[in-house]
Chains A and B, each alone.
Chain A
Amino acid sequence: MLNFDEKVDLSLDSVLLIYREDEKRDGKRPNRLNRPIMMGQSMVDEATAAGNTTPAITIHEHIVEIVSDSGEGAQKAGQTFGAVSARMGNGVWTVEIIPAEIQPPARSPAGASGIRIRLASKYVTNMGDEADLVVAFNEQVLYSRIANGAYKEGTVVLLESKWRDDPVEEIRAQYAKAVMEFRANGLVVHELPIELACLELTSSPRKGKNMFVLGMLCHIFSRDADTARAQIADTFRRKSDEVIALNIRLFDSGMAFARDHLALHFHIPPHPDQGGRWIVTNGNQAVGLGVMASGMELVSMYPITPATSASHYLADVFHQVGGFVHQAEDEIAAIGFALGASFSGKTACTITSGPGLALKTESLALAVMAEIPLVLAVVQRGGPSTGLPTKVEQGDLLAALYGEPGDAPKVVIAAATIAECLHFVILARRLAEAFRTPVLLLTDANLATGVQPYPRPEPSAEWLAPPVDQSTWDEEVPPYAWDERTGLSPRPIPGMRGGEYVLTGLAHTEQSKVAYDSDSNQRGCNLRSRKLAALAGTLKPPKVHGDESGDLLVVGWGSTVGAIEEAIDRARAQDHKVSSLHLRFLSPMEPGLKEIFGRFRMVMTVEINYSDDPDAPLITDDTRRYAQLAWLLRAHTLVDVDCWSVVYGHPLQPGMIHRVLLKHLDALEAIH
């Protein structure tokens, strides 16, 4: 990680800076260099050079960022680049860098907007550690990325150079100071006249330079130009032919620019073919696809970041499967509307984030009490309160389990991957109906905006909700004909002759009659709780990643699976006896945990939510507050589960977790 406190003396790099200073000042279009300078000859893989002046170097992984002011299209360029790379067979993970404001002030560190794309010759499950290559549309936005530890010594920065000649003296000074600082601290900065080059093709380069940059990246990483052009056409399919043509011209120009002026040229071989067809989506699109594949016909929502893009996607395509997105007047109405549809026999879905979950608690408790199937997807962001709307946190776990006053047992599952965002919605709908309960599906901002290729599901009629049952109800069967062992009961649906009952949020008998007597209330609570035990009985113990026993077991949940397992693999490669397991079911808890934990000397969770650092001021064994999963596991297993968690607002990275593992192993060694 780049650290500005350590002054590294690095002479101004001239290795890859090709653009002639005099031409740039004259404002002329840069000419092709006669002699592109290569990186270390030993690294060149001659076989992959595809007729370009600079042969491509074969590498197996690279992390690229495009960072800009808001509205400069960095994310569109990055998503397109990621999709092209996925089409060419690379493992890909992209994650968006999103400011909270729509149009934050230009050239401000806080306004940094952009995208990170991690490419590899293997399946990629997380954003990785420091970036290798950055394209920056101004120098100021890089400061926030540096503060986030996104770069390292040697990270190559392709920086828009127009600010050097800006009419405003302050901007010129800022730019010069930044470039000097970046270089002094180890970034390899190449100043490039990107906008100037775009001016050849468009009068508004601010809008078009993202495709130019896409062209540059596609050259640098030897992407197939036709695949990229097809992807651009798809990206702009709603726009006119002229717009598509212009963007393709900008792309071509960017490719040529990189070919002519940059000696950066890599080849990342495809990862071994996994067979079958793959799709590339982000996690919110996956949730939307899951809703469609589950046969649910209604999503009732209220706008909230970062959940809403799932509904945007559905609003676009839901009609293809006969579905409808209802934008309600508020979060409470959104879940109320969904509950109405579910009650009427059409199990519905509502999608929200933290503050929306808080507003929905009373309705959620009603769904538990009155046993109404419902799918509630929660795309977690930083909290509490409005918190960090665009940034990731796993802070809603306890709220999901225990947010309601009174005892409200319900199913809570968490997707760990983007593919699971899709499949778990289908699972959630089935569980909700089978167990007559709300099911909370937790995802997070990392999954929501992350993009990854995964096997294309084959939609099945069995995934769809069955038609609404309108047969005659046996009047001998009460509306809550609880099975004394499982708490399960069949559900009368409006339209079923003889099934008439009045659903109520008040304590009730199995006839759904309001009952305030002790026995009825105790019985209702017992049976609603036993449903979870019945479900738990169908689950298998979780699979351990790594050896089944050892020194340290890391337990995680949600979007951190990729980073945790990558860190575990690194530590295991260093002969450390570490393993991990990742929970998908949080309520009921997956079985067998205590037994698995018993096979390790130490168990700890790694999470993105708050916990007290045991070494922090005032913190003692008595006062220390644990991370949320750790809290649950300690209560559930009576094992002294430790934890490490941070609320930086960004996804966990394998390097970070690896360091934590080593520290805990050291501590364990000291005890030994």
Chain B
Amino acid sequence: MTPLLDVTDAKVHFGGVRAVDGVSIQLQDGALHGLVGPNGSGKSTLLAALSRMIDLTDGRLSFKGHDYQRDSAPAVARMGIGRTFQAVRVMSSRSVLENVMLGADAGVFGPGIVGNWLLPWRTRRHERRCREMAMAAIERLELTGMENHLVGTLSYGTQRRVEIARAVAAQPAVLLFDEPTAGMNRAERDEVAEVMRTLQAGGLAQVLVEHDMQMITDVCDHVWVMNFGKLIAEGKPEAVVTDPAVQEAYLGKRGEEDVNP
């Protein structure tokens, strides 16, 4: 069976820095995979490469059997690869509904501008469809009743949910999360974990970049571990945390404390 997402020997080099250096991973339909590693190990860069925010130096990206390493980021987003960012990114002076509709827009309106701008009858029909998709996403993220709140006035955890709703509204086939729980308290974190499990139950494939191993073991069924731009381990979360190579990456080499005072 063709994997949903198939990455072959992906490399991203910035001058001499090999941020991602020959990573090959596969993601099946409906799977929820974690991507972990110490700071600077290349997780976020890999995620940016997958969403085509940055170019691969070398390698191949394939989505549903289609090579997309040359497609533009907006085209990839419309194709069904959604993402969120490390920091909350919303239109804070717009309502929850408008923010979520922004996610649905590109799928419904398409890449064209002139038609959406100058054909009001078409626009009106599309707008209705977008609103429906946005309302469905709002319901899934339990934001119902807050549609008209300005996003800037909401709590951090809620803004995170708005972002996820925006990504979900586009009805992607895969969603890439870049540290969605950074800066969150435990209650908010559990909420996000719950959301991810619900989305998986609905058949959405997800990749979760995360520092917090607890979160990873809570939600992921498979984990990739990166260090220095390379994949150093993968497998079930429980197995990966006991892997010596992973422990070394996180805790340092045994005996290192003797060398460095």
Bound pair: A and B? no
| Chain B residues proximal to chain A, CB less than 8 Å | none
